[in-house]
Structure 1
Amino acid sequence: MSASGIHHVTAIAGPARRNVEFYTKVLGLRLVKKTVNFDDPGTYHLYYGDETGSPGTILTFFPWDHVAKGRVGVGETQETVFRVPEGSIGYWTHRFIDKGVEHEPLVKRFGEPILSFRDPDGMRLAVVGVPGVETEAAWTGSDIPAEHAIRGFHSVNLLLAKAAPTAAILTDVLGFTEVAREGSLIRLKAGDTRNGGIVDLHEVGGFLAGRAGGGSVHHIAFRAADDAEEAAMVEKLAQNHGIRTTEQKDRNYFRSVYFREPGGVLFEIATDIPGFAADEPVAKLGEALKLPGFLEAHRERIEGVLPELV
């Protein structure tokens, strides 16, 4: 495989304006694409990431004003974790205090300092201090100094009744290898992938199933370099695990298939191509509402029902 790891994470949110305010102004991410839910075009689909929306940096949301609150449980993503420079954990602690962000005491996980927090909808997030990432490029379009800025995803943490069946999919099909265990956590890593290269499996018993809603993760997308690699992964899922995916869906910026893995989490395989500059230049990413071709004729009506973001 030419590329492994997380492509993007998609979650459910409350009011769109509040979502934009938190992720661009508090976390300092770039709004790289403003489009709509292709299956529900009266709702935004908002994408945040680094300067170009690189795979492994992209967090997306379907925001609904009056969405019911979700419940974290078995078969769901428990936490989505960002990478920051190791020396920046203190900066983020003070920033969360200053901005009134709900957060937990600093702990260590697999030897790394991790600061967990929640967004306004209760979505469970964290920043983890990673040595050496300060040398990587950072988006500097916010008030956060470059030396402290987020550098894409570190990991996702999946809450599962049994970890082994999910691990089998991650290792056999999606390019991960088990690298460590700590208590009830199993860590898998995708080679030397820096952004989004880690999945932690949290095996628990007796928990309720998750309930989708505001603050919950809808699905996790994993990388395929192109259509051919995606097709090979689909074939391996069917032949080795008896799992069938959806047909390929064109999402304009990547092409996707979806399947429910054995632990109940909705997985997607998304191509790295064509990327977020497919319909607007990098310098203008996220500024204009972008619609797929089949919805362009309905632009006026769609714009009339979407809420203002600023």
Structure 2
Amino acid sequence: MPDPIPGIHHITAIATDAQQNVDFYAGVLGLRLVKQTVNFDDPGTYHLYFGDGKGNPGTILTFFPWSHVQHGRRGTGQATTISFAVPADSFGFWIERLTRHSVEYDKPTRRFDEPVITFHDWDGLGLELVGVAGAENKPAWESNGVSGKEAIRAFHTVTLCEDGMEKTASLLTDTMGAKKLKEEGSYFRYTFGEGDSAANVDLHCTPEFMSGVVAGGSVHHVAWRVPNDTAQVEWQKRVREAGLNVTPVLDRQYFKSIYFREPGGVLFEIATDPPGFARDEPEDALGQVLKLPPWLEKYRAEIEGDLPKLHHPNFAMERQL
């Protein structure tokens, strides 16, 4: 068995407007914009990374903002909801903040004995805040009126919508090393490692739903973390032996990646923790300027001319707690 997967590395979604995306995630939710770069396969499009103060694995939500993309359709074969962990007593703050920024949300409810607020970003991407006991003791990024008492700490869960769950469940447990924790109605929770931050995946079994369409406001893929290149190659072999097609290792500058589709159709990635986001700019200046990989640097003028200018909501207010 390769080194265990401890949980989520990052989640990548599709947006329709780059500035609107920054305003929502860095502004409304108070995450740090840790990297401005481009989609390496489509350099005329940004690839924006949001996370905690250092862009630690398990906190990173990334976006491809394609301005002319159609909106997706939520359904089976998709990761439909991204859930963030926040301190359990912060819900009053978040309800007031979402209301003030005209973000519609559902009345708080409970799932698996934890309080949950469900809402959507301005592209319709499904999001949740989950109140987690002890979250207040984890590092926080303070920004744009979100203090360390309320700030998002990391991912809590990613929800996969499936028309049938047996094959996906088998991949998670028999191949990837997750454990089934519990079930509640049509939700089945699995967890990686010790079940700490960013370790949960919920299978939402909904055979009555239509197949989803991945486009604007949809999750593009879910990445799971491994500690190094050697472990990644071992996982590549293990995935292949499970009968799934898997890509060669691809260099994404801040981590290395392999990709495959789980049996229900969701695109999975296995990404390395290193080298991280400080490899090409100082940690205290993350996300402030456009960074390009070496093979695209000679096209910088052309790329910058094609990309819309971005304005951060307020760099001056940010600090790591």
Q: How far off its partner does 1:171 sit?
A: 1.8
SS of 2:177's equivalent in the other structure is coil
1:164 partner amino acid: E
**TM-score normalised by structure 2 residue count:** 0.94
1:146 to 131, 142, 148: 148
Distance in 1 (CA, whole Å) between partners of 2:171 and 2:123 is 30
Cα RMSD for the two superposed structures: 1.0
In structure 2, the partner of 1:258 is 259
SS of 1:146's equivalent in the other structure is coil
Distance in 2 (CA, whole Å) between partners of 1:112 and 1:220 is 23
In structure 2, the partner of 1:166 is 168
Q: How far off its partner does 1:2 sit?
A: 5.1
Which runs of structure 1 show a deviation greater than 3 angstroms over 4 or more consecutive aligned residues? Answer: none
Q: How big is each residue's C-alpha offset from its partner over 1:16-74, in whole Å with a ceiling of 9 and x where there is no partner? A: 00000110110000000000000000000000000010000000000022221111110
Distance in 2 (CA, whole Å) between partners of 1:176 and 1:2 is 9
**TM-score normalised by structure 1 residue count:** 0.98
Contact 2:229–2:272 (CA under 8 A) maintained in structure 1: yes
SS of 1:147's equivalent in the other structure is coil
Distance in 2 (CA, whole Å) between partners of 1:296 and 1:174 is 37
Q: How big is each residue's C-alpha offset from its partner over 1:256-303, in whole Å with a ceiling of 9 and x where there is no partner? A: 000011010000000001111111111010011110111011000000
2:222 to 213, 220, 223: 220
Q: How far off its partner does 1:3 sit?
A: 4.7
SS of 1:45's equivalent in the other structure is strand
Contact 1:76–1:158 (CA under 8 A) maintained in structure 2: yes
In structure 2, the partner of 1:179 is 181
Distance in 1 (CA, whole Å) between partners of 2:188 and 2:294 is 43
2:73 matched to 1:71?
A: yes
In structure 2, the partner of 1:300 is 301
Contact 1:234–1:244 (CA under 8 A) maintained in structure 2: no
Distance in 1 (CA, whole Å) between partners of 2:54 and 2:145 is 19
In structure 1, the partner of 2:52 is 50
In structure 2, the partner of 1:281 is 282
**What is the total number of aligned residue pairs between the two structures?**
309
Distance in 1 (CA, whole Å) between partners of 2:13 and 2:41 is 15
Q: How big is each residue's C-alpha offset from its partner over 1:208-237, in whole Å with a ceiling of 9 and x where there is no partner? A: 111111100000000111111111111111
1:12 to 14, 23, 42: 14
Q: How far off its partner does 1:142 sit?
A: 2.6
Distance in 2 (CA, whole Å) between partners of 1:127 and 1:74 is 22
Q: Which moved more, 1:62-71 or 1:168-177?
A: 168-177
In structure 1, the partner of 2:317 is none
Q: Percent identity?
A: 50
Q: Which moved more, 1:246-255 or 1:136-145?
A: 136-145
Contact 1:55–1:195 (CA under 8 A) maintained in structure 2: no
Contact 1:174–1:222 (CA under 8 A) maintained in structure 2: no
Distance in 1 (CA, whole Å) between partners of 2:149 and 2:303 is 40
Q: How big is each residue's C-alpha offset from its partner over 1:72-123, in whole Å with a ceiling of 9 and x where there is no partner? A: 1100011000000000112111111111101111110000000000000000
Contact 1:10–1:60 (CA under 8 A) maintained in structure 2: yes
2:33 partner amino acid: L
2:209 matched to 1:207?
A: yes
In structure 2, the partner of 1:94 is 96
SS of 1:62's equivalent in the other structure is strand
Q: Which moved more, 1:298-307 or 1:223-232?
A: 223-232
Distance in 2 (CA, whole Å) between partners of 1:2 and 1:189 is 12
SS of 2:223's equivalent in the other structure is strand
Q: Which moved more, 1:199-208 or 1:46-55?
A: 199-208
Distance in 2 (CA, whole Å) between partners of 1:87 and 1:175 is 33
Contact 1:10–1:219 (CA under 8 A) maintained in structure 2: yes
2:120 partner amino acid: R
SS of 2:217's equivalent in the other structure is coil
In structure 1, list runs of 5 or more residues that go unmatched: none
Q: How far off its partner does 1:141 sit?
A: 2.9
Q: How far off its partner does 1:175 sit?
A: 3.1
Distance in 2 (CA, whole Å) between partners of 1:235 and 1:298 is 36
Distance in 1 (CA, whole Å) between partners of 2:195 and 2:258 is 22
Distance in 2 (CA, whole Å) between partners of 1:125 and 1:133 is 18
Q: How far off its partner does 1:244 sit?
A: 2.2
Q: Which moved more, 1:27-36 or 1:175-184?
A: 175-184
Distance in 1 (CA, whole Å) between partners of 2:96 and 2:144 is 17
Q: How far off its partner does 1:193 sit?
A: 4.5
Distance in 2 (CA, whole Å) between partners of 1:49 and 1:100 is 23
Contact 2:5–2:176 (CA under 8 A) maintained in structure 1: no
Distance in 2 (CA, whole Å) between partners of 1:201 and 1:272 is 25
Distance in 1 (CA, whole Å) between partners of 2:281 and 2:177 is 31
